[in-house]
Amino acid sequence: MRILVAAAALALVPTPAFAWGKTGHRVVGQIADAHLTGAARTAVKRILGAETMAEASNWPDFMKSDPAPFWQKTASAWHYVTLPGGKTYDQVGAPAEGDAITALDRFSATLRDRKASLADKRVALRFIIHICGDLAQPLNNGNGADRGGNELKVTWFGKPTNLHSVWDSLLVDDEQLSFSEMASWLNARISPADLRAWSSADPKVWMADSVNARDQVYPPAGETALSYRYVYENTPRMELQLEKGGVRLAAYLNSLFR
């Protein structure tokens, strides 16, 4: 896979919400960095150089503004999965255009390929960091009915938005913390028991867990005005998903770079 990226081609155009916003993705990347094995840390450093995992985590979203067909068509489906209620991924499978799971398989193969160029491995690792974060966001594991909450219109403290955007960034940013502050606070809460429980390198395990969370983040039917009560009820859930996302990203990379 050879992907040529020209910074001059970037255009600042609106793109649909797909997963955590910048803060959330950076938190996942920062937490994961704290749980890498020595071998994984060496491999990540060799591929990313001075770029941190937190910095790399938002690159695939940044590149959505590139007008090239690869970014506008091919890669756009790699940020999410669709799992209707009561269905497993094995039952549903991937759509023809692929999804987050097929993308993880694709980029993991690139990282295992000794003949792959450093540039291609850098693209692959950036995507893996991002996608693992995506799958921790409950609404990126869509139910197939409302585009992952994008079509559920709500207000957030009186301002019109949608449920996916609330989970992308509005709920995270309500904490008014930098990504490094939030990552430090959340990582300090992760116990050895949590690490044992969450350190699965199987994305299908992550998806099942995120679907369980997804089914709890929808407000009661007819309730569209979200504010303090929704923050109170869902901030702990959001923080837990970020913690799990970081631990699981580390587990995935530790498995890849043994």
Rounded Cα distance between 31 and 112, Å, is: 24
- pLDDT tens digits for range 150-186: 999 999 999 999 999 999 999 999 999 999 999 999 9
* pTM (two decimals): 0.91
CB distance 29 to 249 below 8 Å? yes
φ/ψ of residue 10, rounded to 5: -70, 140
Q: In this predicted model, what pLDDT tens digit does every residue of 178-231 receive, in sequence order?
A: 999 999 999 999 999 999 999 999 999 999 999 999 999 999 999 999 999 999
Q: Does the structure show a pLDDT above 80 at 7?
A: no
Q: Residue 53: which of 249, 184, 191 has the closest Cα?
A: 249
Fold designation for 16-256? P1 Nuclease (1.10.575)
Q: How far apart are CA 12 and CA 29, in angstroms?
A: 25
CB atoms within 10 A of CB 237: 15
What residue spans define the domains of the chain?
A: 16-256
The pairing of strands 225-226 and 153-156 is parallel
Q: What is the mean pLDDT of residues 234-241?
A: 98
